[in-house]
Amino acid sequence: MKKAQDFLNNFLKANDTIIVACSGGPDSMALLNMLINIKKSIDINVICAHVNHNVRKESDDELLFLKDYCKKKKIPFESMKIQKYGEDNFENEARNIRYDFFDKLMDKYSANYLMTAHHGDDLIETILMRIVRGSTLQGYAGFALVSDKNNYKIVRPLIFTTKKDIEDYNNKNNIPYVIDQTNFMEDHTRNRYRKTVLPFLKNEDKNVHEKFLKYSNTLYMYDSYINKVIKNKIKDIYNKYTIELDKFNKEEELIKIKILYKVLESFYEDDLVLISDSHIKIIFDLIKSRKPNSFIYLPNNIKVIKEYNKLIFKKETDQIDNYEIELTDYVELSSGKKIVKIEESDINNNNYCRLCYDDVVFPLHVRTRKDGDKMVIKNMTGNRKLKDIFMDCKVPLKERDKWPVVVDSKDEIVWLPGLKKSKYDTPKSKKCDIIFKYY
């Protein structure tokens, strides 16, 4: 923890105001305690900010625990409770709500910094998850020690430390904290990395977190340089939501990708996590298409239109969320659901699909339904209309138009995830080449 303490001592100055994002868990309580100690020697202002996500029965008790702790330490305490969630990706929606709350507190207290308790192990997990999922150069870097957010900076002082360092610090200083049991549930992707991958890496090198931090800093350095290049080039290529394809196509592949992400940032802002490599690929497919006029839909009803030598981006306010994405290893849908390739499974319900390369034409795609869509349901004869399947399965009307439909390259429906399997699904008793899971 010494590196984190040294950083804070050198970084902070008198009259700085810090909002501390605090869950009440061991990491954020350690950070809060460090700042309270620094406050004894430097005249800084520390405000504790807590978000009650309202998804566990213990959440209200944790809020009271933290409120009482801050009262004893004479630290201002601010909190908010999320009353309801919409139909967006849960993690993304919760993040947006949190940062909207933090933004307001930063204005209220005229604060310089928002500090979070992300540590070195978190950085390893984030980098590995993004490598597996696919991301941008900046995304692969995980998160930075200091980053800009609106009119303030987000600071992560514990990035130098490990979970073990934090646990030792808390035990040594008798710091109270609460435990979120969902952090141990293996249905959360991050928890699986934490339980299986991190121990292996730490066994190879106990200071592996320092290597990942160096990796992260290197990627941020390169990304910063490329952004400077993009800033100059994009002025001549992109204007009024339109890319001039003659100029765009002359650039290197990396520059093209960065330009597309820059354009999409202006539409998605904090929702840019909804965009993956698969979405960028279908934009490139649209650009390379021989059709002079065509279009695709991205999550949140962003329409990308190719009109001869122009690529136009626009927000469709009344259009359904159409999409068609190549399915290889992983697809995250705008509904928050995922389709992933897995190695094996004994489960054989409609959330799993087993296929053989001899039966369907790869690559597969996942798309929204089309008029007249039909499929042959497993163990049945004859085609069945998708609209009839939706009715039989009692799928609400508002969900039918965005329900994922998995098709092969001949547009044959091979799977209706979560609802029905097709005749192409390989029986569990036979060998298959590929297995997908929907969840």
For residue 220, pLDDT over 70 is answered with yes
Contacts of 381 (CB under 8 A, 6+ apart): none
Range in 35-49, 85-99, 312-326 the model is least confident about: 85-99
Tokens of 249: 């196509």
Q: Token pair for residue 210?
A: 């320092």
Class of domain 2-215: alpha beta
Rounded distance between C-alpha atoms, residue 330 and residue 363, angstroms = 13
Segment 238-272, tens digit of pLDDT: 998 999 999 999 999 999 999 999 999 888 876 77
Residue carrying the six token digits 């009109």: 307
Lowest mean pLDDT among 12-26, 84-98, 269-283: 84-98
Q: Does position 319 have pLDDT exceeding 70, yes or no?
A: no
pLDDT band at 187 (very low <50, low <70, confident <90, very high): low
- Distance between CA 432 and CA 425 in Å, rounded? 9
Q: Domain ranges for the chain, please list them.
A: 2-215, 240-315, 324-438
pTM of this structure? 0.68
Angle between helix 208-237 and helix 253-268 axes, rounded to 10 deg:
90
**Mean pLDDT, all residues of the chain:** 91
CB 129, CB 143: distance < 8 Å? no
> How sure is the predictor about 322, in pLDDT bands with cuts at 50, 70 and 90?
confident
Question: How far apart are the C-alpha atoms of 141 and 131, rounded to whole Å?
Answer: 10
Q: In whole angstroms, what separates CA 47 from the centre of its chain?
A: 28
Reported as a pLDDT band with limits 50, 70 and 90, residue 13 is: very high
For residue 286, how far is the Cα from the chain centroid?
A: 25
pLDDT of residue 86: 62
Q: Give the pLDDT of residue 269.
A: 76
Q: Are 103 and 21 in contact (CB under 8 A)?
A: no
For the cut 60, the answer to whether the pLDDT of residue 320 exceeds it is: no
The yes-or-no verdict on residue 88 having pLDDT over 60 is no
Residue 87, pLDDT above cutoff 70 = no
Q: Which fold has domain 324-438?
A: Phenylalanyl-tRNA Synthetase; Chain B, domain 3 (3.50.40)
Instruction: Output the six-digit token pair for 47.
Output: 């405000």
Evaluate the CA torsion angle 363, 368, 370, 374 in order and state its sign.
positive
CATH 3.40.50.300 given to domain 240-315 = no
Mean pLDDT, range 118-139, rounded to an integer: 90
Reported as a single tens digit per residue, the pLDDT across 349-368 is: 999 999 999 999 999 999 99
Angle at 192 (CA atoms; ends 188, 198), nearest 5 degrees: 140
